[in-house]
Chains A and B, each alone.
Chain A
Amino acid sequence: MELLGHYNYWVFAVALMIGFYAVIARGNLIKKLLGLSIFQSAVFLMYITMDKVEGGTAPIIQPGVPDQIYSNPLPQVLILTAIVVGVSTTALGLAVVVRIKETYGSIEEHEIYEADQPS
Chain B
Amino acid sequence: MNLTEQLVALQIVVPLLSAPVVALLRPRWLAWAATTAASATAFAIAIAIALGVREGRAFGYQMGSWPAPYGIELAVDPFSAVLLLIITGASTFALLGGRLSVDTQIEQQRQPLFYAAWLLGLAGLAGIAASADAFNIFVFMEISSLASYVLIAGGPDRRALPSVFKYLIMGTVGATFYLIGVGLIYMMTGTLNLADMELRIHEVGDQSPILVAAGFITVGLALKAAVFPLHAWLPNAYTYAPHAVTVFLAACATKVALYILLRFDFVVFQQNLIGHDVKFSYFLMPLAVLAILVASGMAAFERNLKRLLAYSSVAQIGYIMLGASLVNHAGLTASIVHIFNHSLAKGTLFLAVACLAMRLDSLRLDGIAGAARNMPWTMAAFVVGGLSLIGIPGTAGFISKWYLIAAVLGEGPLGFLLVAAIVISSLLAVVYVWRVVETAYFQSPPDGAVPAREAPPEMLILTWTAALLNVYFGFASDLPLSLSSAASALLMGHLP
- Is any CB of A less than 8 Å from a CB of B in the complex? yes
| Interface set of A (CB-CB < 8 Å, partner B) | 16, 20, 23, 29, 32, 36, 39-40, 43, 46-47, 50, 74-75, 78, 81-82, 85, 88-89, 92-93, 96-97, 99-100, 103-104, 109, 112-113, 116
With a cutoff of 8 Å between Cβ atoms, the chain B residues found around residue A50 in the complex are 183, 186-187
| Interface set of B (CB-CB < 8 Å, partner A) | 135, 138-139, 142, 146, 149-150, 153, 158-159, 161-162, 164-165, 168-169, 172-173, 176, 179-180, 183, 186-187, 192
Q: In whole Å, how far is B229's beta carbon from the nearest beta carbon of chain A?
A: 15
Are the C-beta atoms of B159 and A85 separated by less than 8 Å?
Answer: no
**DSSP majority for the B interface?**
helix
User: A81-B135, A82-B179 given. 4 additional CB < 8 A pairs?
Assistant: A78-B135, A93-B168, A96-B165, A116-B162
- Name which residue of chain A comes closest to B161, CB basis: A100
Of A36, A39, A74, A92, most B-chain CB atoms within 10 Å: A92
With a cutoff of 8 Å between Cβ atoms, the chain B residues found around residue A29 in the complex are 165
Partner of A92, one of B168, B183, B187: B168
Q: In whole Å, how far is A87's beta carbon from the nearest beta carbon of chain B?
A: 11
Assembled-state Cα–Cα distance A78/B150 (Å): 25
- Name which residue of chain A comes closest to B178, CB basis: A43
Partner of B172, one of A75, A89, A100, A113: A89
Are the C-beta atoms of A89 and B142 separated by less than 8 Å?
Answer: yes
With a cutoff of 8 Å between Cβ atoms, the chain A residues found around residue B138 in the complex are 82, 85
Are the C-beta atoms of B162 and A112 separated by less than 8 Å?
Answer: yes
With a cutoff of 8 Å between Cβ atoms, the chain A residues found around residue B146 in the complex are 85, 88-89, 92
With a cutoff of 8 Å between Cβ atoms, the chain A residues found around residue B183 in the complex are 43, 46-47, 50, 75
Are the C-beta atoms of A85 and B180 separated by less than 8 Å?
Answer: no
With a cutoff of 8 Å between Cβ atoms, the chain B residues found around residue A103 in the complex are 158, 161
Assembled-state Cα–Cα distance A116/B179 (Å): 35
- Name which residue of chain A comes closest to B135, CB basis: A78
With a cutoff of 8 Å between Cβ atoms, the chain A residues found around residue B186 in the complex are 50, 75
With a cutoff of 8 Å between Cβ atoms, the chain B residues found around residue A81 in the complex are 135, 139
- Name which residue of chain B comes closest to A46, CB basis: B183
Partner of A89, one of B139, B168, B179: B168
- List 8 A-B pairs, Cβ < 8 Å: A40-B176, A43-B180, A75-B183, A75-B186, A81-B139, A99-B153, A100-B165, A104-B161
Q: In whole Å, how far is A41's beta carbon from the nearest beta carbon of chain B?
A: 10
Are the C-beta atoms of B176 and A23 separated by less than 8 Å?
Answer: no
Q: List the 4 closest pairs (A to B, CB-CB), nearest first.
A: A85-B142, A103-B158, A100-B161, A50-B187
Q: In whole Å, how far is A114's beta carbon from the nearest beta carbon of chain B?
A: 12
Are the C-beta atoms of B173 and A23 separated by less than 8 Å?
Answer: yes
Partner of A23, one of B153, B162, B169: B169
Are the C-beta atoms of B161 and A99 separated by less than 8 Å?
Answer: yes
Assembled-state Cα–Cα distance A112/B161 (Å): 10
Say yes or no: A39-B173 contact (C-beta < 8 A), given A81-B139, A92-B150, A112-B162: yes
With a cutoff of 8 Å between Cβ atoms, the chain B residues found around residue A40 in the complex are 172, 176
Say yes or no: A85-B149 contact (C-beta < 8 A), given A36-B173, A100-B161: no
With a cutoff of 8 Å between Cβ atoms, the chain B residues found around residue A109 in the complex are 162
Q: In whole Å, how far is A26's beta carbon from the nearest beta carbon of chain B?
A: 11
With a cutoff of 8 Å between Cβ atoms, the chain A residues found around residue B169 in the complex are 23, 32, 36, 93
Assembled-state Cα–Cα distance A47/B169 (Å): 22
Partner of B159, one of A88, A93, A116: A116
Q: In whole Å, how far is B278's beta carbon from the nearest beta carbon of chain A?
A: 28
Are the C-beta atoms of A96 and B164 separated by less than 8 Å?
Answer: yes
With a cutoff of 8 Å between Cβ atoms, the chain A residues found around residue B149 in the complex are 92, 96
Assembled-state Cα–Cα distance A100/B159 (Å): 9
Partner of B176, one of A39, A88, A104: A39
With a cutoff of 8 Å between Cβ atoms, the chain A residues found around residue B158 in the complex are 103-104
With a cutoff of 8 Å between Cβ atoms, the chain A residues found around residue B165 in the complex are 29, 93, 96-97, 100
Assembled-state Cα–Cα distance A103/B180 (Å): 36
Assembled-state Cα–Cα distance A29/B142 (Å): 21
With a cutoff of 8 Å between Cβ atoms, the chain B residues found around residue A116 in the complex are 159, 162
With a cutoff of 8 Å between Cβ atoms, the chain A residues found around residue B135 in the complex are 78, 81
- Name which residue of chain A comes closest to B147, CB basis: A92
Assembled-state Cα–Cα distance A47/B180 (Å): 9
Assembled-state Cα–Cα distance A50/B213 (Å): 15
- Name which residue of chain B comes closest to A116, CB basis: B159
Assembled-state Cα–Cα distance A115/B183 (Å): 41
Assembled-state Cα–Cα distance A20/B173 (Å): 8
Q: In whole Å, how far is B123's beta carbon from the nearest beta carbon of chain A?
A: 15
Partner of A96, one of B153, B173, B180, B187: B153
Assembled-state Cα–Cα distance A113/B166 (Å): 12
- Name which residue of chain A comes closest to B187, CB basis: A50
- Name which residue of chain B comes closest to A36, CB basis: B172
- Name which residue of chain B comes closest to A109, CB basis: B162
Say yes or no: A96-B161 contact (C-beta < 8 A), given A46-B183, A50-B186: yes
Assembled-state Cα–Cα distance A116/B159 (Å): 7
Are the C-beta atoms of B176 and A100 separated by less than 8 Å?
Answer: no
With a cutoff of 8 Å between Cβ atoms, the chain B residues found around residue A43 in the complex are 176, 179-180, 183
